Amino acid sequence: PGTLGEAAAAKGRVFGTAAAQGHMGESAYATTLDREFNQLTPENEMKWDTTEPSRDSFNFSAADQLVGHAQAQGMAIRGHTLVWHNQLPGWVSGISSRDDLLGVMRNHIAKEAGHFAGKIDYWDVVNEAFQDGSGARRDSVFQRVIGDGYIEEAFRAARQADPDAELCYNDYNIDGQNAKSNAVYAMVQDFKARGVPIDCVGLQAHLTLGNVPSDMQANMQRFAALGVDVHITELDIRMNTPADGSKLATQANDYKKVVSACLAVSRCTVMTVWGITDKYSWVPDTFPGEGAALLFDDNYGKKPAYDAVLAAL
Ligand code: XIL
């Protein structure tokens, strides 16, 4: 009984979803959002290409609408994301002077985090700065032109612009312990030691069927032990489509494992799925032949995974 948000709240957690302003006019979309979730992450509306498409010219209208909706519903809000190599406008990727890019990044953070200051519970300050399969930094204009220090500069600028938001580093394939999550761990440890403002680590948790890392809880626990909160920020569990009963049962068990792991770690405070319905999931567009990754099907019906999450909460 109850809803995901109510069940999570009873455990001192929030249960959220990504949502897109473009779908809010669809009544089943908005109704399901409002009924089940108590945290909202704008799926694309706060990304650099949308908010600052040309230099120092800002547009927050779509994000403002989502933020207004979330506030009216009493939902927590995750800002996503201030610094990322994707959905970055060409005018930024073309900058080659270090001073120029550092100034542009600081201005972007000051204006965007400043615009939403007081309304954002958690910011994904920097997204996906590490490579898969190694502890190396991902190549990006920020890494190339500013160097390793761009991440801490971004966190300092975010703290200044919005002192009340929890500031997170967010990435994928850091759900279990591996070379990439080891590198993020080392960075957070270093930031804590040097007083760089960081409050949380976001594990995106874009997972594939049957592959919840067995050490996910241990991984969350080691981050928590550094003195940061841990958030599951973009949870989905994709399968080869079409779905069938057996795959949906495996998926339900996978979701249960993730929720149980989070609940076992007191600093795992936020769980967020990356979309309300399979109908609008990013998965089929990005991973052709895969999909059915979320808790509600194309018709907003509750999937076995929904029941499993509700039962686990
Ligand atoms: C995705 C959105 O869901 C899509 O609509 C968009 O076309 C591409 O980006 N990691 C992230 C998210 O941090 O911002 C991405 O969102 C999914 C992967």
- For 58-89, the pLDDT digits (tens) are 999 999 999 999 999 999 999 999 999 999 99
In 3-state terms, what secondary structure has residue 313? coil
> Mean pLDDT score of the chain, rounded to an integer?
98
Residue 286 CA, ligand 1 centroid: distance in Å: 9
The first and second tokens of residue 285, run together, are 């567009």
CATH number of the domain at 194, please.
Answer: 3.20.20.80
Is 6 designated active site? no
**SS3 state at 42:** strand
What atom in ligand 1 is closest to the CA of residue 47? 14
Domain count for the chain? 1
Q: How far is the CA of 24 from the centre of ligand 1 (A)?
A: 18
Residue in this structure with the two tokens 């200051």, named with its chain if needed? 117
The pLDDT of residue 200 is 99
Query: What domain range includes position 47?
Result: 4-312
pTM of the model: 0.98
pLDDT in tens, 116-175: 999 999 999 999 999 998 999 999 999 999 999 999 999 999 999 999 999 999 999 999
In order of 85, 147, 153, the CA distances from 139 in angstroms are: 9, 10, 17
Ligand 1: does its nearest atom lie under 6 Å from the Cβ of 44? Answer: yes
How far is residue 311's CA from residue 309's CA, in Å, rounded to a whole number?
5
pLDDT digits over 247-291, tens only?
Answer: 999 999 999 999 999 999 999 999 999 999 999 999 999 999 999
> Ligand 1 centre and the CA of 193: distance in Å?
32
Give the model confidence (pLDDT) of 272-283 as tens digits.
Answer: 999 999 999 999
- Rounded to whole angstroms, the Cα distance separating 156 from 169 reads 13
| pLDDT value, residue 311 | 98
| Annotated active-site residue in 36, 45, 112, 234 | 234
**pLDDT confidence band for 1 (50 / 70 / 90):** low
Interface predicted TM-score of the whole assembly (ipTM), two decimals:
0.99
